[in-house]
Amino acid sequence: MAPKTVRKLLADTLEDLSEQDLQKFRHQLVDRRGEPRVRLRRVEGKDFLVLTDVLVSTFTEKGAVPVAVEVLRDIDCNQDAERLEEEVAKQSSGSSDEKHFVDKHKCQLISRVSNVGPILDELLEKNVIQQETYDKIRALATSQEKMRELFSTSLKASETCKDIFYEILKKNEPYLVDDLQRQ
């Protein structure tokens, strides 16, 4: 059986939502603070297939999944979010031998990320980590301990979590990410 595409995985997830949850999904997608923004007229009254097209055309296939997961978590469809993350991780791990940037540079990231606070704040905001994990990591003494704990807990969850972490790293540690990409 051929692996499902990201578009198909997104469509299946949205199709499984109740009409009420689909309505909440549309509303929350429009209400998102992150860029790029989705306009109401693009999603108002639209079905799951159109929503899938809007997600992929607005955020690209790679970026659509983290946004969908974020919105699903915001509307308390956590099980659907988790299932989507797992399915995408399963598909991507089967289709590529290439290691994720975060896995490939784990040791360097542990030793070189210096300002962990803002990264943790964004991971909490995007529901990659929960408050309890956030508090536990913040209480650690050194940046290296914080990064090790982050890798041993939340970044093991899925490729989507790693993708979100990578995007946050690019924003908060651009020179480090640039240096590691050139290696």
Q: Which residues contact 182 (CB under 8 A, 6 or more apart)?
A: none
- pLDDT under 70 in the chain at which residues? 1-3, 92-98
Give the total residue count for the chain. Answer: 183
- If we measure between CA atoms, which residue out of 75, 55, 76 comes closest to residue 67? 55
CATH superfamily entry for domain 6-95 = Death Domain, Fas (1.10.533.10)
Stretch(es) of the chain classified as CATH 1.10.533.10 = 6-95, 101-182
pLDDT of 92: 66
Backbone conformation region of residue 160, classed left if phi is above 0, alpha if psi is from -120 to 50, else beta: alpha
pLDDT of 71: 94
CATH number of this structure's domain 101-182: 1.10.533.10
Give the pLDDT confidence of 133-150 residue by residue, as tens digits: 999 999 999 999 999 999
Give the pLDDT confidence of 78-89 residue by residue, as tens digits: 999 999 988 888
pLDDT of 90: 79
